[in-house]
Each structure stands twice: as structure tokens, then as C-alpha cells.
Structure 1
Amino acid sequence: MVRRWFLLGESPLHAARQLALLLAVGALLTVVKLLSVPAAQQGIYLALAALQAAAAAAAWCPIWRRLPPQAPLVLTLPAFTVLATSIWAAGGVAAAAAPFFVLVFVWIGLHFPARTVLAVTPVALAAYLGPMLLAGRDPAVITSAILFIPTLTAVAVMIARQVDHHRRDRDALRRAERWRAALTSTLAHDVRSPLTSVRFVLETLHDEAEALPPDQRRTLIETALRQAARIHRLAAGLLDADRIDAEGRLRLETTSVPLRSAIDDALAYLTTPITVHLAGDVKVRADPARLEQILINLLTNAVRHGEPPITVTVRPAPGAMVAIDVRDHGPGVPPGRRQALFSRFSGTDAAPGSVGLGLWIARELARAHGGDVTYHPADPGTRFTVTLPAVDPAPPPVDEGARS
């Protein structure tokens, strides 16, 4: 029994081994045909059988797994050579070779894009018509043969298109499955910790509320509110990612937002001291809730992966924009990970148990505002810059001290 993984798949190895099976069957049928051909032609068919067997052996070698996806196409050269020679040996009669032309075109359509089918067509046409012309077949036969290869081309192109369609559907299903797995992972890890804190606070207040000093009760309540806000941000981020994935954009309720208050509100969720450089009452055109989410995502990323001091600097940017730089002094982002920095699920901005959506969501939200989020290496550390439309011209930044 032929093992399934030897033949079924989409790698160059699977493609080569499928054609190897066709070549081996062709070699076997050629050997059988030796019994019914004149002795003068047996040498030709014996050579054809040997060529097919050698090509089948080469196609079966494991080396194809290390070659580019288009590499198995070279195997069509011995296949078409054998088919052309068999038509010539049969006096220009293609009855025996035609089914193998069909199988080769089907194989090409299954494993290669439609443009490859079109590129191979002239070679196949020469292999099919050349022997007939050399044998002097009458024009009616030649005309029907001329129509045969374009028909095979159309069939192979339809197969290639259909395979590509199914491949895209499968990739979409895989992305959806990965998205569901990410949601499960997030709920299992990111939500459990803040829920545990909220539950602890509620149980403490339930059992010891009267015995606790007012300051301690206030601290516990603030802790619970902060953790509840963390859960809310997580849920909002996941919903945003789902909307972006489904609709490609977000609906925003933009207004004039003072950056000072927006930054202070975002810093209230953090306990790490962060220095803010901002002069005057700079305002941006933004959705307040989305702006807060952008800032929290970038600041949280800096706290998780960077090192103090962490700074936020507001400065004017070209095109009537405001730039907000979030700078840390940590180890920075390795060069190999920078290209996928803003990719969903890249893990670049993900702490253990997280799904790595923060930077991706921040960029998508900024772009929905007409701005962007970009990465710049610093020495040391990293600098993420979010640009947003300015309401008033932004003055040069000045240091106004630490915020937390």
C-alpha cells in the first residue's frame, strides 16, 4: 500500500512523486506494448521505457523537498519527449499518447498557477503536433490536433484556478481557527489574572469591610477598578481586532482632544513612572476612547519590554500632524523581528500568555484616524511614534516632569 504522505500534498516533493507515478505507469505500459510492435521498433520502445523509468526514479528522490516550488516542472521535459517519440513511432497516431497528455496537464493544473500552464502550452503543442507533421498526417487530423492542446490548456487553467480558490479558502479557515485559538488563549491567561485580583478585593471587602481603615478600603477599590479597566481594554481590543478583520475599518467619533488630559488618563492605568514632554494645550482630532487605547497599548508595550527611563514626547509633524513619541531604554527589537513588528499574532508585543495584538491594533486605530504608528530604533531602546491630525499647530516640546 502506498502511504498517503508519499503522494498527497502541495510541496515540490509531492508534485514530483505524483508525476513519478505517472511516468512509472507509462514505462510499464510501454514494456507491455513491446509485445505487440514489430521487432524493428522494439528498440525504440525499450529506450522509451528506460527513459520513463529513469525519469520516474529521479522524480521519486527526496531531493525535491529542498528545491523551489517550480522545480518539478523540469520533469515535463522527459515526459513530453517520451510522448512525442511514441507518437512518431506510431506513425503520427496519438491515440495512445493523448491520455497521458491529459494527465500531465491535470498534474500541472493541480500544482502550479495558471500562468505556468500557459507557459508550458507551446512545448506541449510542439510535442503533440511535431511528430504528426513529420509523419505527414492529413490536414483534418492536424486541425483536430491543433484544437486538442488548447482544450487541455483551458482545462488545466480551470483546475489551477479552482485549486487556488480552495487554497485561499483553506488559508482563511486557518486564520479563523488561529483567531479563535488566540481568543481562547487570551481569555485563559490575560483575563484570569485581573479577575483573580477583582475577586480577592470583593472577598476582602465582603469579609472585612468594617475592620479595614478607609485608606486601605480605597486602595483595594482602586485596585479592583484598575483590573476591571484592564479587562475592559482587553475586550475592546479583541472586538476592535474582530471588526478590523471583518470590515477592514472602524467607525470613529472624532472630536478635538487635548493631549495633556489624554496622556494623563492613559498613565493612570500604569504604576511605572513615565516622563512627559509636552508644551501648551496641544489638541488632536481623534476619537477619545480610541486615542486612549492607542496610548495605553504603546505605553504598556514600553513597560513590558523596555527599561526606564520611559518618556512620552509630543512634537509637531509634517502635514498638519502631531507626533507622539514613546521611548524606552531597553534592549530594543532584534533586526530579524522588525519586519513583523506590527503583524497580528507576531508575538513581538506579546507577554507570556498574550496574543500579541497591541501594536497591530494601535497601528490600525491610528490609520483609521488618518495617521500611523511607526517604529524607530533608539540607542539604546526603542521609539514608537504615533501621528494624528492636529487641531492647532503643535509647539516645540518642553520637559514638564514625571507622570505616573
Structure 2
Amino acid sequence: MRLNRRAAEPVGELLLRSVCHELRPPIATLSSLARAMEVQPNADRRAEMARLATEYAAHALSVIAEADAMVTGLSDLAGEAAPLAELLPSVAAAAPDGRLTTLATPAAARWPVHLQHTRQILINLVGNAVRHSPGLVRVGARQWAGRLRLTVADEGGPNPDLARALDRDTPPPGSNGLGLWVVRHLAAAHGGRIRARRARSGGLVMEVVLPRYRPVETTGRP
């Protein structure tokens, strides 16, 4: 989470709204995983669910930690780098069973990304797709022109509300559109961009293009 401090809304109020918004997906997914683990007879599958639950708990703690860093003025873009493939299982867990497919080319799967921010971008986009459209949601990733191209496709379509959400310079007054606003600013903070387009076969495609992430090495003061 990286917020524009020039927004008209007081930073403290915006920060609180954003944290509450960004914590809803991991908390909801943790609840779903806990319920599924109770009835899952397969030990290997339960172990995988437990691993995903741990990852979501860590993501929730990262959201809180970054908010705390912003309050103390220590927030920056430094963060853990990981291949995209490492976060795709947790993104898939954000959608109900049978609603989501993921397809990443080998080059995209190896592409280094900011672990927390990229997961946050994809979870927000997947959550929007699941809430606002019926049918299957498709997450895709491929390397394109020296950048990582992420897509989240659903059976909806571009509309004026979506266009306004992507063009806003300030956060929306309510929760509607806040996730997209966060996604847009996270992408921009890493030198990327987001756009919405209609798929050739129909439906909506949200596309995020990101450069290669290279963590900034920090050294402590002597």
C-alpha cells in the first residue's frame, strides 16, 4: 500500500480506510481456508491450505506494518523480491473454488516482483472480478517488450464507473473504487501502469504492466 499524500482527504483518515479495505480480502480468505481445512480429508491438501493460510496471515501483517511505516515516515518501495510464480497460489486462493484459472508463461513465472505489492495488486483485481461479474476469472502473465504483463479477465465489461475509478486523482469517498485506486498507485509507484479494455471474445480485461523489480539495497548507519 502506497498512498498519495497530496490527496484532499486527511492522510490519517485515508490510511485507516485503505488499511480496512486491504485487510478484508486476506481475512475473508483466511476464514474460508479455516473452514475448508475442517472438512478436508486429504492430509496433503490440508497442509497446502495451512501453508496458504500462513501466507495470507503474513500478507495481512505486511499491510499493517506498511501502514505503521507510513505513519512514522519510514515507508518506501523497498521490499522482498520473489518470482511471480511464488505468489500465484495465494492469488488463486482469493477466489471461490472453480471460479479462477491462472496461466503464466515460463519467463513470466520467473519474473522478479515486489512480493507484497504485486500480490496486493492481483488480489484486489481478482476480488473485484469475482464480486462484479459472473463466471470464470482468468489471471494471465507473460513477458512483453521487456516488461511483465499481468491480466485479470472476467465476463463483465468496461463501463463509465470503471473509467472514472481509473482516472481519479483523489481516492473515492467510500469503499467503492478504493481497491482500484490503490492498485493504480501501487503500479505507478513501481513505474508501471494499469488500463481496462474489452476482450476480443467479450468481457473485461484489467491489464497491469510492470518493469522488472530490483530491490534497493539498504545499509545500516555505523
TM-score (norm 1): 0.38
Q: 2:79 maps to what in 1?
A: 253
Question: Which has the higher relative contact order, 1 or 2, with Cα contacts under 8 A spaced 6 or more apart?
Answer: 2
Q: 1:303 maps to what in 2?
A: 130
In structure 1, which of residues 359, 362, 370 is the aligned counterpart of residue 183 of structure 2? 362
Structure 1: give runs of 5+ residues left out of the alignment. Answer: 1-170, 202-211, 351-355, 392-404
- The offset of 1:298, in angstroms, is 1.8
Structure 2: give runs of 5+ residues left out of the alignment. Answer: 1-6, 214-222
Q: 1:182 maps to what in 2?
A: 17
Q: How is 1:25-64 mapped onto 2 (pairs within 5 angstroms)?
A: none
Q: How is 1:76-87 mapped onto 2 (pairs within 5 angstroms)?
A: none
Distance across 2 between alignment mates of 1:268 and 1:242:
27
Q: 1:329 maps to what in 2?
A: 155
For the 8 Å contact 2:21–2:179, the answer to whether it is kept is: no
- The offset of 1:336, in angstroms, is 4.3
Distance across 1 between alignment mates of 2:126 and 2:29:
22
Q: Per the alignment, do residues 260 and 373 of structure 1 end up closer, same or farther by CA in structure 2, a change over 3 Å counting? A: same
User: Counterpart of 1:358 in structure 2: which amino acid?
Assistant: G
- The offset of 1:321, in angstroms, is 0.6
Distance across 1 between alignment mates of 2:42 and 2:180:
36
What value does the CA root-mean-square deviation take over the aligned residues? 4.5
Q: Which moved more, 1:335-344 or 1:239-248?
A: 239-248
For the 8 Å contact 1:377–1:383, the answer to whether it is kept is: yes
Distance across 1 between alignment mates of 2:29 and 2:212:
38
Instruction: Determine whether 1:381 maps to 2:203.
Output: yes
Instruction: Determine whether 1:278 maps to 2:104.
Output: yes
User: Counterpart of 1:363 in structure 2: which amino acid?
Assistant: R
Describe the SS at the equivalent of 1:340: helix
Distance across 1 between alignment mates of 2:71 and 2:204:
28
Distance across 1 between alignment mates of 2:19 and 2:144:
40
Normalized per residue, the structure richer in strand is: 2
Q: 2:116 maps to what in 1?
A: 289
Distance across 1 between alignment mates of 2:84 and 2:119:
10
Distance across 1 between alignment mates of 2:94 and 2:128:
13
Q: 1:313 maps to what in 2?
A: 140
Q: How is 1:55-74 mapped onto 2 (pairs within 5 angstroms)?
A: none
Describe the SS at the equivalent of 2:102: strand
Normalized per residue, the structure richer in helix is: 1
Deviations 1:2-29 (A, max 9, x none): xxxxxxxxxxxxxxxxxxxxxxxxxxxx
Describe the SS at the equivalent of 1:292: helix
For the 8 Å contact 1:197–1:224, the answer to whether it is kept is: no
Describe the SS at the equivalent of 2:141: strand
Distance across 1 between alignment mates of 2:105 and 2:51:
31
Distance across 2 between alignment mates of 1:281 and 1:321:
11
- The offset of 1:358, in angstroms, is 2.4
Describe the SS at the equivalent of 2:210: strand
Q: Per the alignment, do residues 239 and 333 of structure 1 end up closer, same or farther by CA in structure 2, a change over 3 Å counting? A: farther
- The offset of 1:297, in angstroms, is 1.9
Distance across 1 between alignment mates of 2:29 and 2:148:
37
Q: 1:60 maps to what in 2?
A: none
Describe the SS at the equivalent of 1:290: helix
- The offset of 1:286, in angstroms, is 2.0
User: Counterpart of 2:179 in structure 1: which amino acid?
Assistant: G
Report the count of equivalent residues.
199
- The offset of 1:278, in angstroms, is 2.6
Distance across 2 between alignment mates of 1:254 and 1:374:
26
Q: What is the percentage of aligned positions where both structures have the same residue?
A: 24
Larger Rg: 1
Distance across 2 between alignment mates of 1:254 and 1:184:
20
Q: Per the alignment, do residues 178 and 266 of structure 1 end up closer, same or farther by CA in structure 2, a change over 3 Å counting? A: same
Distance across 1 between alignment mates of 2:29 and 2:192:
34
- The offset of 1:371, in angstroms, is 2.0
